[in-house]
Structure 1
Amino acid sequence: MTTFSSDLDGNRIRSLPSNSINITTDQLSLANSQLESISDWAFNGSRIGTLQLNGNLHLKRLDRLAFRGLGSLRTLDLSDTALLSLPTVGLEDIERLLVKRTPSLMTFPSVYHFGSIEEAHLTYPYHCCAFDFPAIQDPDQHRKYQNGARAVGDGVFHTAVAEESSLSVCEQGRATRLRSVRCLPAPDAFNPCEDIMGYRALRVAVWVVVVTAIVGNVAVLVVLISRSFKLTTPKFLMCNLAFADLCMGVYLLIIASMDIHTIGVYFNHAIHWQEGVGCQVAGFVTVFGAELSVFTLVTITCERWYAITNAIYLTKRLRIGGAVRVMVVGWMYSAFMATLPLVGIGSYSKTSICLPMARDATDRAGIAFLLLLLLGNGAAFLLISWFYLRMYCSISHVERGLVRPNDLKVAKRMALLVFTDFACWAPIAFFGVTAIMGVPLISVTNSKILLVFFYPLNACANPYLYAIFTKQFRQELLRLLGRRSLCRPPPRSANTLLEMSSIRGGRKSSQDSAVESHLPAAAVEQPALSPVLECSRTSDPGSVAPPGHAPRPDGGAQ
């Protein structure tokens, strides 16, 4: 039968068995039907110019030879279906292919099977990368076509550097022209045709950051959880901070490992990675770790400020029970924020680095979520800076305006803590807010520099500034290794990790001692009590000397 157009839209046909359609027509429409499968040779003997199978929402299976025996096909529309794979046999002469809004089709077949294609409308931008870099998508077919090109002496297949060139190849004794293809959606700033780590230097740097963050935070957790001293409020808070920062290291480890696994061919794996479980887990871990780290830093800073400003009041301390309740709230908040993109508020699948993003410009809930994250972290930075300023003022005026020579050193070390927080959050917040407002100032490729060098800065710096750089932590680590016979433990002095050495042999007021016991490790002159590993001596009623008496090394009073 010969017709100009055959419209069979909206029918109840569920399958097309072999040899079920034999027709000659310019256009055959089976759109918006109930098709679920099409068998081999279903269109055998037909000559159809345009075949419309779009809108068959339950169409999952196309047999490998479904289009075998179909001639004259120039346009095929498979949009809005549930296809898991796209057969290519019988589509060699197709010129226009439409597979839009079909997220189930994650793997696109080799572009070398479409010898005459001129235009493709697909679902994922990464699928269009195959037309720009065919040698990467299918190296074996590329070699065959290159060999065929040399045999007939006519050019190369079009690539990113030869956009308008074409290739003549011998295939079954005839020459086939492969043209440049117009493909949509084109790769964009969020989905470029590049590896996860776009630069070789970043690929090296990210592993340095991974090792630094994981080793530092694991060391802190191992030493703090060891049985060498009892659980205290600062120790408990530092355990939470180390765990949160360890999550950031794990996230970077996942990203770096995937980059190594897909180096040079990432766009072949992009859809499976970004839409799969791995990227969702990585995104959850990084948001959870980042929010828990920020919450814990604020809690630590508030606890130290409160202890310093109430140093002579022994009952005004954050006890371990209160700290546990505060951190339960922090864990619940962090888990809640990290879960939102998993339930449709934002998405972890927008980019290869699995950071939360709005799905598109109309995703108001996703945009609000991102603004909440960025502005919340900015407010936390301002709060931490304000508390450190108040702590420094307390130190400077602890003796009625008497300025001590050590004040400048304390101020510089406090400034280092504030600077690491600022360097971590400020670039992310600035470029994130501008992108949300529709004025992106940096591409995803360049944003990976922020991902490696700024985003995990706190995760790398915190274990060292708050713990590892203290003399007491190193001594405790050596003792722990000594108990495992891994090294010779240092001699145990009268001063334990829970006691403070006298500074320069001088006397201190009780408030002065309590103030320094709550400063960050990076802000206390050695030797002094590590504020991260130990709670203030003032939390023990017997640990503070009466006014006018300096504390003795053994914890008594002179």
Structure 2
Amino acid sequence: LDHNNISEIKPEAFEGLHELRKLSLADNRIERLETAVFQELTQLTRLYLQKNRIERIDEDSFRDLRFLEELDLSFNRIVDFPRTLFEHNDHVVSLNISGITLSNLHVDMFACSAQLSIIAFERFSYCKYAPLVRTCYPKGDGLSSVGELIDNCVLRVVIWLVGVLTISLNCVVVIGRVCFQGENPAHSLVIKNLAVADFLMGVYLLAVACKDSELRAVFNQFALSWMQSGACAVLGVVAVASSEVSIFILTYLSLERYVMLVHPYKNCHVSLPAAALSMACLWLGGLLLAVLPLLGLAPSFYASNAVCFPLHLHHVYADGWQYSTAMFVCLNGACLVVICFCYVSIFRSIQQTRRETADCVHGAARTSFAQRFFLIVLTDAMCWAPIMFMKLLALANITISDSAYAWLAVLVLPINSALNPLLYSLSTQAFKKRMSALASRIRVSALNFSRSSQCAILSLSSLSLWEFLLQCRGGHLRPVASAARPWQQSSLMTSLAMKPTVQRSLTAPMTTKGKKTSVAGTSRRRG
């Protein structure tokens, strides 16, 4: 009965057709399915209702179709599915509800039929409501699939590598800044806060990678519980706070450098308390932006995908899409414009100054400065510009490929957290010199420890304990006047055990100018 402009099905329409096995009403104008409209079709196994105008289905519409195996309701205008719609259809094997945007899906809706093995939705995100179905269409969103949280093996490796690299580099920055002395404390505090913010992005990546390993091959069975869990929300908060605080601090650093280099005579150097207050405000702002959606604004803000990051590219108008657009496009776009303006102004100012003092500046130095500024602006633009561009394309209803979405979420966004330590700390000459000095001090300490150990071994084998304490003070081996004798070692050890004053004298200075005191002499007089 396809293509017959049928707009209504009355209850008595199929009266007496008890043996009918297949019915197709596709491409008609049916708008509603009444209660028990198919009550006479008790032996029906296949029903096709695709491409109609159905807006409402009564919860008992399919009650009498107990042997139904295949049902196609795709490309209709259904908004709400009754939760008990398929309650009496125990033999359904294939269900097609693609082309329908649903808002009230529930996991109980598809749990009635143990034989349901194939289901087709409009979006992959709906598959989590059918955790026991073996085959679900679409098979993935580029990032996740029915079996895997991270479907692409290359992406899986990249997440681990970028996460470990981000954590390692930012730990080096924090440790180095803590150990260095004589550095500008305000600037050092800002860089340490930037490193901590980027460190959190590495923690987020490793947490996602660990969850992927945990749910390997069984992801869809636990997808709904994972995406609606508090752990997923916490990971989303960590990732958003990290990205927002990071771009805020980069904007702060750009403005600070702009004022210091473009207007050097205004004496606008930032003090340590002012820098600490600024960092506290930036962290508070970033955390507030991350937590605010959970406070009633958009409760499922972080449940739009399996990695808990609310880009809203595949589901543009999902819960909280306005907030996501305002944050990732408007706010971060403004920060990126400020950063670009500051560094372009700095570069122009340096170029102008060097033209006026061309005889004092080498061309290689100009090239070095230009390359450094170019890299800073380029990495920031590479991180945030693609996100804003993709977001605008999605809002314009332009389809974004699954692979582009996956790489954007996994690599492009976090890569800036791994590059910031290189750009702002590890590649600077001052940091390199301080790290070299720190490494030299560590080598000297290790050498002194080795010499002290050798001193102890050699002395115990050839000297008496008394001569060992005299000759090896300060970790340096001194020439021995005479060989030790066994009775000297035993008598000295007895003397040390019985005379606490001798033990205290061993820790006192060996000599003082004008008053030379012999420890050995003191021992003889008191022994």
- Shorter-chain TM-score category? 0.5 to 0.7
Q: Per-residue deviation at 1:455?
A: 0.9
Deviation at 1:401, TM superposition (A): 2.0
Report the equivalent of 1:316.
268
Deviation at 1:107, TM superposition (A): 11
For residue 255 of structure 1, report the CA deviation from its aligned partner: 1.4
Task: Tell me by how many angstroms 1:132 deviates.
Answer: 4.5
Deviation of 1:196 after TM superposition, in Å, equals 2.5
- Secondary structure of the corresponding residue to residue 306 of structure 2: coil
Give 1:367 shift. 2.4
Q: Give the structure 2 partner of residue 266 of structure 1.
A: 219
Once the two structures are TM-superposed, the CA of residue 454 in structure 1 deviates from its matched residue by 1.2
Alignment of 1:543-554 (within 5 A): none
Do structure 1's residue 338 and structure 2's residue 308 form an aligned pair? no
Change (3 A) 1:468 1:489: farther
The C-alpha deviation readout for 1:241-286, integer Å capped at 9, x for no partner, is 1111111111111111111112222212211111111221111111
Alignment partners' CA distance in 2, 1:115 and 1:387 = 60
Distance in 2 (alpha carbons) for counterparts of 1:125 and 1:466: 44
Maintained 8 Å contact 1:126/1:187: no
Match of 1:307 in 2: 260
Distance 1:116 1:212 in 2: 42
Residue type of the alignment partner of 1:203: R
The answer on whether the counterparts of 1:244 and 1:293 sit within 8 Å (CA) in structure 2 is yes
Out of 179, 186, 206, the position equivalent to 2:159 is 206
1:325 counterpart = 2:277: yes
**Would you say how many aligned residue pairs link Structure 1 and Structure 2?**
379
Q: Which amino acid in structure 2 is aligned with residue 372 of structure 1? A: M
Residues 1:397 and 2:352 are matched in the alignment: yes
Superposition map of 1:379-398 within 5 A: 379-398=334-353
Q: Say if 1:129 and 1:267, in contact at 8 Å, map to a contact too.
A: yes
Does the CA-based 8 Å contact 1:479-1:489 persist in structure 2?
Answer: no
AA paired with 2:115? F
Distance 1:363 1:121, change over 3 A: closer
> In the aligned structure 1, how far is the partner of 2:118 from the partner of 2:260?
72
| Residue number among 429, 437, 443 corresponding to 2:396 in the alignment | 437
1:355 aligned to 2:313?
Answer: no
Q: Which amino acid aligns with 1:398?
A: T
Alpha-carbon distance in 2 for matches of 1:254, 1:116: 32
CA separation of 1:304 and 1:277: change in aligned 2, threshold 3 A: same
**What root-mean-square deviation, in Å, do the aligned CA atoms of Structure 1 and Structure 2 show?**
4.7
The answer to whether the Cα contact below 8 Å between 1:481 and 1:487 also exists between their aligned partners in 2 is: no
Contact 2:171–2:195, Cα closer than 8 Å, also in 1: yes
Q: How does 1:112-127 map to 2 (within 5 A)?
A: 113-114=114-115, 124-127=126-129
307 and 207 in structure 1: CA distance in 2 versus 1, 3 angstrom threshold: same
Please state if 1:235 is matched with 2:194.
no
AA in 1 matched with 2:431: F
Cα pair 1:247 1:289 within 8 Å, conserved: yes
Distance change >3 Å, CA 420–CA 191, structure 1 → 2:
closer
Q: Which amino acid aligns with 1:352?
A: A
- Equivalent residue runs for 1:132-281 within 5 Å: 132-133=134-135, 192-193=145-146, 195-226=148-179, 228-229=181-182, 232-281=185-234
Answer yes or no: is the 8 Å Cα contact 2:174–2:192 preserved in 1. yes
Change in 2 beyond 3 A, CA 1:309/1:95? closer
How has the CA–CA distance of structure 1 residues 191 and 296 changed in structure 2, closer, same or farther, with 3 Å as cutoff?
same
Specify the SS of the correspondent of 1:440. coil
Superposed CA offset, 1:196-246 (max 9, x none): 322111111111111110101111122223474577111111111111111
Offset at 1:438? 2.0
The answer to whether the 8 A contact 2:89-2:112 is kept is: no
In 2, the alpha carbon distance for the partners of 1:189 and 1:399 equals 50
* 1:66 alignment counterpart: none
The 1:421–1:488 alpha-carbon spacing in structure 2 relative to 1, beyond 3 Å, is farther
In the TM superposition, residue 130 of structure 1 has moved relative to its aligned partner by 4.6
Equivalent of residue 366 in structure 2, options 387, 395, 407: 407
C-alpha distance in 2 between matches for 1:73 and 1:115 = 14
User: Any stretches of 5+ residues in structure 1 without a counterpart?
Assistant: 5-26, 29-46, 56-69, 134-159, 161-182, 491-558
Question: Hey, what's the Cα distance between the residues in 2 that align with 1:107 and 1:261?
Answer: 27
User: 1:98 and 1:250, CA in 2 relative to 1: closer, same or farther beyond 3 A?
Assistant: same
Q: Which moved more, 1:206-215 or 1:261-270?
A: 261-270
Q: Where does the alignment leave 5 or more consecutive residues of structure 2 unmatched? A: 1-10, 12-34, 37-41, 45-56, 69-79, 449-527
Q: Normalising to structure 1: TM-score of the pair?
A: 0.56
TM-score when normalising by structure 2: 0.59
- Measured in 1, the distance between the counterparts of 2:431 and 2:447 equals 13
**Counterparts of 1:473 and 1:489, CA distance in 2:** 24
Distance (whole Å) between structure 1 residues aligned to residue 426 and residue 120 of structure 2: 59
Amino acid at match of 1:196: L
Aligned partner of residue 353 in structure 2, secondary structure: coil
- Change over 3 Å in CA distance of 1:484–1:108 after alignment to 2: farther
Return the offset for 1:98.
12
Residues of 1 paired with 2:264 and 2:389: CA distance?
38
Who wins on radius of gyration, i.e. which is larger?
2
Please tell me whether residue 451 in structure 1 is matched to residue 409 in structure 2: yes
Q: 1-side partners of 2:120 and 2:340: how far apart?
A: 56
Residue 454 of structure 1 aligns with an amino acid whose one-letter code is: V
1:377 and 2:332 correspond: yes
For residues 117 and 302 of structure 1, the distance between their equivalents in structure 2, rounded to whole angstroms, comes to: 57
Letter in 1 for 2:162: V
Provide closer, same or farther for how the CA distance between residues 388 and 93 of structure 1 changes in structure 2, counting only shifts above 3 A: closer
Contact map agreement 2:159 2:205 (CA 8 A) in 1: yes
Amino acid at match of 2:255: C
Kindly provide the CA deviation profile for residues 401-432 of structure 1, in whole angstroms up to 9, marking residues without a partner as x. Answer: 23432212211121011111111112111112
**Whole-Å Cα distance in 1 between the matches of residues 311 and 109 of structure 2?**
24
Whole-Å Cα distance in 2 between the matches of residues 253 and 357 of structure 1? 19
Letter in 2 for 1:385: C
Identify if the C-alpha distance between structure 1 residues 108 and 255 changes in structure 2 by more than 3 Å, giving closer, same or farther: farther
Counterparts of 1:229 and 1:414, CA distance in 2: 25
How much does 1:371 deviate?
A: 3.6
| CA drift at 1:393 | 2.1
Work out whether residues 93 and 116 of structure 1, in 8 Å CA contact, stay in contact via their aligned partners in 2. Answer: no
- Equivalents in 2 of 1:441, 1:219: separation in Å? 38
Q: How far apart, CA to CA, are the structure 1 residues paired with 2:117 and 2:252?
A: 64
Corresponding residue for 2:480?
Answer: none
Deviation at 1:366, TM superposition (A): 2.4
Tell me, in whole angstroms, the C-alpha distance in 1 between the residues paired with 2:412 and 2:121: 39
More strand by share: 1
Percentage of pairs with the same residue = 23
Measure, in 1, the Cα distance between the counterparts of 2:331 and 2:116.
53
Paired residue for 1:17? none
Contact 2:143 2:151 in 1 (8 A): no
CA distance in 2, matches of 1:489, 1:228: 23
- Name the CA distance, whole Å, in 1 between partners of 2:292 and 2:165: 30
Structure 1, residues 145-181: CA drift from partner, whole Å, max 9, x if none? xxxxxxxxxxxxxxx8xxxxxxxxxxxxxxxxxxxxx
